[in-house]
Every structure is written in C-alpha cells, then in structure tokens.
Amino acid sequence: MTTSQPRDPAPDAAPFPEPEEPAATAFLPPAQRHRWGFGAFLLVEAVLLASAAFVSVLVGDTGPGPLPIRVVLLGTMLPTMIAAGVAVLITYVRGNGPFADLRLEWRWADVKTGFRFGCVGLVFTTIGAYLWTQLVGNANATSAISALVEDRKMSVSAAVVMFVYLWLLGPICEEVIYRGLLWGAAEQLQWRSERWGRVAAFLLSTAVFAASHLEPLRTTLLLVIAVPIGLARLVTGRLPGSIVAHQVNNFLPALTILLGALGVASF
C-alpha cells in the first residue's frame, strides 16, 4: 500500500485572509461631522450684505473733510466682523466648534508655508495689478476701499485702525467665511475621495471669494490674489496657513492706503 504524496497548492488558490483589527479599535467613534453646509454659508453672506446695507444707512453722508473714525469702523470693518462672528457661532450651534470644523489648529509649519505662499502671491499680485491697471486704465484701477479714502485725508487714529484691519483682522474674518465655512461645506459633500473634495473646495472658494467682493472690474485680479491663498489652505489642510498667506498679501496694499490716507504719499 503506497502513501500519496502531498499535493502542491494550486497557483490560483485564494490567499489567507488578513488578520482582523484588534477588537479595541472596532469601538472607536468615527470622525465627527458637522451638521451645517451651504445653507450656513448663504446665511453668513446674507448677514454680510444686510449688515453692510444697514451700516450704510446708519452712517449716511459724512460730508467733506477727514473721515471720522466711526465711518472707518462701521462702514469697512463691522459687516465682515459680524459675518465672521455668525460663522463661528454656527460651528458651535450646529457643529463641533470652530477649531474642529474650520480647521483652526495652530502649527508653526503652517505659518511658514502660509508666509511662503503669501510672498509668492505678493509677487503675482504686483504683476497682475500692473497688467490690470494697463488694461482698465488708472481711473478704474481702484478697489472699493481705495475709493473710500481717495482724495480724503483721514485722522491718524482712523488710518491706523484701517491699516490694522486690512493687514491683520480683515484676512482672519474673510478666511473664516470662505476657506473655513465655505470650504467645510464643500468638503462635507460625498466626493470620490478626500482629495477630490479638497480640490473642489479650493476651486469653489477661490471663485466665490473673487466674485463676492462685488467689484466686476477687479474679479480677474482677485482670482490671481485668491489662488496662492487657497493653495496654502489646500497644502496644509488647515486654516492658519491661508490666514497668514492672506495677511502677507494684504500688507503692501494696506500700507499704501495708510500712507495715502495720512497724506504722506500719493499713489
């Protein structure tokens, strides 16, 4: 009686299944998702427009002469600050708070990345502004804020407040609205992958940021400005990177308006 030889395994036999994850990890809670979306962003935009209209009626005609500081604070700063405050409030009421929902985690690496993108953006903005001025002419090459202070000397305190807002505070408020709230709403949708969601959020927030300034002649230039800022948000995955990039990009324009408003220099 002969013994049978062991048979070689079939080449196409199914491999052994991978070991299952430890039982402890099966009970970990899934990543928290917020309960707000595009409706929250539209509400914030409505608040922005409504507060701007209300402040405009409240301030009224200031007449000739230096702009009072109340006009600077109310007309320029207050609507955006109110809208950003509503955006933060929404994350508390319908989400997990601004630090989780808006990706406000602080890292020095993000600050460095944002600074680099801001410097690159400043170069492209300078070139783009020059070409845009040649295209539309000097008479039309002004922003809404520049037109507000053009040919009108401001008080020192009002000019300094304007400078600090345009350079530091304004970018924070705008980033909370567009690359915080709007970005989070876009990522919340069901995309093929997380990467596709982030790219879609980058494209959408860039376009809406440029259009929402309601300055049709400057929309193309605003797109040039918005791309490096959005890339800082895309690369880091967090909001502080784009905030720093935005602040770096705003420094020279804010300084220009400060010097012009004080009558130190004319541009």
Flag the least confident range among 32-46, 108-122, 250-264: 250-264
Angle at 34 between CA 30 and CA 187, to 5 degrees: 90
From CA 195, how far away is CA 73, in angstroms rounded? 40
pLDDT at 60: 67
Q: For residues 128 and 224, what is the distance between their CA atoms, to the nearest angstrom? A: 7
pTM: predicted TM-score of the whole model, two decimal places: 0.82
CB neighbours of residue 104 within 10 Å: 18
Question: Two tokens at 115?
Answer: 């600074």
Q: Does residue 103 contact residue 188 with C-beta atoms inside 8 Å?
A: no
Helix boundaries (H) for the chain: 38-59, 69-71, 78-94, 98-101, 108-136, 144-149, 156-164, 170-175, 183-188, 194-211, 219-236, 239-262
* Other CB atoms within 10 Å distance of the CB of residue 43: 16
* Angle subtended at Cα 115 by Cα 97 and Cα 76, rounded to the nearest 5 degrees: 65
pLDDT at residue 136 in the model:
78
Rounded CA separation 94/169 (Å)? 25
More confident: 75 or 20: 75
Position with higher pLDDT, 206 vs 152: 206
Q: Are the C-beta atoms of residues 218 and 128 closer than 8 Å to each other?
A: no
Contact between residue 110 and residue 240 where contact means Cβ atoms under 8 Å apart: yes
Q: How far apart are CA 242 and CA 1, in angstroms?
A: 81
- Tell me what the pLDDT averaged over the chain comes to: 82
pLDDT tens readout for residues 237-248 = 999 999 999 999
**Of the candidates 46, 36, 60, 8, which has an alpha carbon nearest to the alpha carbon of residue 186?**
36
Cα–Cα distance, 31 to 73 (Å, whole number): 40
Residue 5 has pLDDT above 70, yes or no: no
pLDDT tens profile 134-154: 887 776 666 666 666 665 677
pLDDT at position 1, please? 47
Question: What is the spatial distance between Cα 239 and Cα 107, in angstroms, rounded to a whole number?
Answer: 10
Query: Would you say 40 and 87 are in contact if contact means Cβ atoms under 8 Å apart?
Result: yes
CA-nearest of 82, 53, 41, 34 to 208 is 41
Label residue 111 by pLDDT band (50, 70, 90).
Answer: very high
Q: CA–CA separation, 67 vs 145, rounded Å?
A: 13
Q: What is the mean pLDDT of residues 144-172?
A: 80
DSSP state of 97: -
Contact status, residue 232 vs residue 241, Cβ threshold 8 Å: yes
Nearest of 205, 44, 67 to residue 148 by alpha carbon:
67
Q: Using 50, 70 and 90 to split pLDDT, how confident is the model at 29?
A: very low
Query: Which pLDDT score is estimated for 7?
Result: 52
**Distance (Å, whole) CA 150 – CA 32:** 48
